[in-house]
Structure 1
Amino acid sequence: MAKPLILVTNDDGITAPGLRMLVSIMKTIGEVVVVAPDSPQSGMGHAITLDSTLYSKKLTIDLDSEGIDEYSCSGTPADCVKLALQELLPKKPDICVSGINHGSNSSINVIYSGTMSAAIEAGIEGIPAIGFSLCDYTWEADFSQAQDFIFTIVSQALKNGIPKGTVLNVNIPKLKKKKIKGIKICRQAKANWKEKFDKRTNPMGKDYYWLTGEFLLLDKGEDTDEWALANGYISVVPTHFDLTAHHVIQELNSWDL
């Protein structure tokens, strides 16, 4: 049987260790094509490039990736997927995997995530898609413990399919001495950021700002992604991109409009 065609992308950039690890796992499953940003694009959400040109370059990052087509893209993660599907891939991929992100995309973080937006862009086009993130922001993050779990999740998605209109948001806990306990299918925890700006002044007397904040978990449920991660499990949240609040439609129809 022909191997599945796998599109690999991310938001940390084409040289990021997380993406390199994901490529190494995916090439044991199928034929891999990489289209990823040429520089870090974290926190870009679903931004796309409209008012400037996009550039793409075919290149080789790892010598052990012989036979894998890789392209850098000057745009956002969503741009990468659009360009891959319209211009760079020989055919529609069987699955798109995004990541492995350096940092959490659990709970409310999914809204801001370039990693997940790349997966969602593929999902919009009817392609099964998964975003992977490790809860460790360092460039030296250890992805090794998650390899077998990522292989299993992608293999099962290829075997069983992912319901249309849905992508999977997979987050992996940062564990140093303990082993990952397993995988939990979860809901997104209710949480937000209490944000503030650190105001500073440069040597020229001009004010500038650094965004800072505190993560506030407002959910005590034991069926959430945050609970799973805190307890040593990989969280898998089925995420849909229909933003309609269907339960509110009836209420709004009662307004005098």
Structure 2
Amino acid sequence: MSKPLILVTNDDGITAPGLRTLVSLMNQLGEVYVVAPDSPQSGMGHAITLDSTLYSKRMRQDMAHPNVVEYSCSGTPADCVKLALKEILPRRPDLCVSGINHGANHSINVLYSGTMSAAVEAGIEGVPAIGFSLCDYNWNANFEPGSDLVKTIVEQALEHPMPKDVVLNVNIPDLPKEALKGIKVCRQARANWNEKFDKRTNPNGKDYYWLTGRFELLDEGQDTDVWALEQGYVSVVPTQFDLTAHHAIRELNQWDFGP
């Protein structure tokens, strides 16, 4: 049987160490194509390019993985997946993996994440997909401790059908290998960012702003991704892209909307 075709993408850019780690791991499991942004696209969410042209470029062969085919893309993470599925890949992929992101994408962060939006875009197209993130924002973060658990999750995803209309959001605590306790399937923690803007003035007298904020956990549950990460587990959250609040439909139908 032929090897599974695995699409690898991210939001930190095609040269990011997290992506290079994921490429190396996926190369052990299947036939790998990479389509990733040519520059960092963190925090882009599910943005797509509509008002400018998209470009893609075949990258030079990676001597460490000469069988891996790689393309950079001028667009967002969601653009990368769209372009890969419609134009670049030789056939429909068996799996799309996004990451490994430099920084956590647990709880409310999933809404802003370019890493997860790439996975969601694949899921919308019916391709099983997983987003991976390491809870360390350092460009030179150590991705090795969680590598075996990343492979385990991918192997299981290749072996078992993904639940319909679901993608997996995986976060890895920044811990040494011996401190990692295993994998926990969790729910998304309720949390928010207490944000403010740092207002400054440039030498020309023009005001500018830096967004700053503090993460606020509003959830004490022991079944959440944040709790699992704090306890030393890799968190796996099944994430759906149907944003309908189904529980609210009955209540809203009691409102008087007129004739």
The answer to whether the superposition gives a TM-score over 0.5 is yes
Moved more, 72-81 or 197-206: 197-206
> Quick check: 2:166–2:238 contact (8 Å CA) kept in 1?
yes
- 1:131 is aligned to 131
Deviation at 1:156, TM superposition (A): 0.3
Aligned equivalents of 1:226, 1:20: Cα separation in 2: 26
Q: CA RMSD in A?
A: 0.9
Q: How many residues align?
A: 257
Letter in 1 for 2:27: K
The 3-state SS of whatever aligns with 2:64 is: helix
> Quick check: 1:202–1:208 contact (8 Å CA) kept in 2?
yes
- 1:109 is aligned to 109
The runs of 5 or more residues in structure 1 that have no matched partner are none
> Quick check: 1:145–1:179 contact (8 Å CA) kept in 2?
no
Summarize deviations over 1:76-117 as a string: whole Å, max 9, x none: 000000000000000100000000000000000000000000
Letter in 2 for 1:141: A
TM-score (ref. length: structure 1): 0.98
Letter in 1 for 2:195: E
Deviation at 1:60, TM superposition (A): 2.4
Summarize deviations over 1:2-38 as a string: whole Å, max 9, x none: 1000000000000000000000000000000000000
Instruction: Tell me the percent identity.
Output: 74
Deviating 4+ runs (over 6 angstroms): none
- 1:239 is aligned to 239
Aligned equivalents of 1:212, 1:61: Cα separation in 2: 39
How do 1:64-143 and structure 2 match up within 5 A?
64-143=64-143
- 1:185 is aligned to 185
The 3-state SS of whatever aligns with 1:36 is: strand
Summarize deviations over 1:150-208 as a string: whole Å, max 9, x none: 11100000101211200000000011485211000000000000000001111111111
Deviation at 1:73, TM superposition (A): 0.1
Whether 1:21 and 2:18 are equivalent positions in the alignment is: no
The 3-state SS of whatever aligns with 1:200 is: strand
The runs of 5 or more residues in structure 2 that have no matched partner are none
> Quick check: 2:105–2:133 contact (8 Å CA) kept in 1?
yes
Letter in 2 for 1:54: L
Aligned equivalents of 2:177, 2:251: Cα separation in 1: 51
1:177–1:247 distance in 2 versus 1, CA, 3 Å: closer
Aligned equivalents of 2:178, 2:109: Cα separation in 1: 25
1:73–1:177 distance in 2 versus 1, CA, 3 Å: closer
> Quick check: 1:35–1:73 contact (8 Å CA) kept in 2?
yes
- 2:2 is aligned to 2
> Quick check: 1:119–1:167 contact (8 Å CA) kept in 2?
yes
Letter in 2 for 1:171: N
> Quick check: 2:145–2:177 contact (8 Å CA) kept in 1?
no
- 1:175 is aligned to 175
Letter in 1 for 2:201: T
Aligned equivalents of 2:219, 2:124: Cα separation in 1: 29
> Quick check: 2:146–2:177 contact (8 Å CA) kept in 1?
no
Letter in 1 for 2:256: D
Deviation at 1:256, TM superposition (A): 1.2
> Quick check: 1:15–1:61 contact (8 Å CA) kept in 2?
no
TM-score (ref. length: structure 2): 0.98
